[in-house]
A = this chain, B = another copy of it.
Amino acid sequence: MVYKTIPKTVIERVPLYINYLKNIDCNKVKTISATIISQELGLGEVLVRKDLNMIAGIGKPKIGYYVSDLREKLRSLISTEKKKTVIIVGIGKIGEALARYKGFGLNGFDIIQLFDSDVGKIGRVINQQKVNDISNLESYCQNHQVDMAVLSVDSEHAQDVCNRLSNCGIKGILNFTNVLLITPNQIIVRNVDIVSQLMILALEINNNK
């Protein structure tokens, strides 16, 4: 298989394309052009063509892209036959909300285990999943393929849990804490702390005057 490195800016646009194509009925609309996509998404036309060429490479001059092929190609970038397995570590307000959310399965993700350290939460069932004691994290990860973790613990424990996740061989962390995690290079961290996002939004608003 060929692994070409996709620039980060392109990667961040892939969900836009995936979500856009999701809303197209490929029985009605067989093909679509970069021109149309760029208009709908408010992106440059050449940008879209370059993106799609780089990540899918299945455009046909005069025709455009076969919707079903393009959709499958984009989907396959995220997960192959198997869905990506995700654990949620820290079943507080946000962690629980995510655990209850049903939308992951449709998008190639499988929440396979929930962890917390609080005895009041361990054993509780959320969305048909029993909350596991975080002291079982290492043994669980030894016996199951875990691709990614959602980190939604208290900030005080964030780095410690992050270290444990690294040692477990997890490849990526979606970090809901406001802690800047120190990790080895082979682990990808994506910071999505809500307060930070609100700050950025507020700054953009002030900047927009």
Which A residues are within 8 Å of any B CB, using their own CB?
Answer: 3, 5-6, 8, 11-12, 14-16, 18-20, 40-42, 77-79, 84, 86, 93-94, 96-98, 100-101, 103-104, 107-109, 147-148, 171-174, 178-180, 186, 188, 190, 192-209
Asked if residues A201 and B205 are in contact (CB atoms below 8 Å), the reply is no
| Shortest Cβ-Cβ A-B pairs, 5 listed | A15-B196, A97-B97, A93-B97, A172-B205, A190-B201
A114 to chain B, nearest CB (A): 14
Residues from chain B with Cβ under 8 Å of A14 in the complex? 199-200, 203
A188 to chain B, nearest CB (A): 5
A interface secondary structure, majority: helix
Residues from chain B with Cβ under 8 Å of A8 in the complex? 204
Asked if residues B109 and A198 are in contact (CB atoms below 8 Å), the reply is yes
Asked if residues A208 and B188 are in contact (CB atoms below 8 Å), the reply is yes
Closest chain B residue to A148, Cβ basis: B201
Residues from chain B with Cβ under 8 Å of A78 in the complex? 199, 202-203, 206
The docked-state distance in angstroms from the alpha carbon of A208 to that of B94 is: 28
A21 to chain B, nearest CB (A): 12
The docked-state distance in angstroms from the alpha carbon of A34 to that of B179 is: 19
A165 to chain B, nearest CB (A): 13
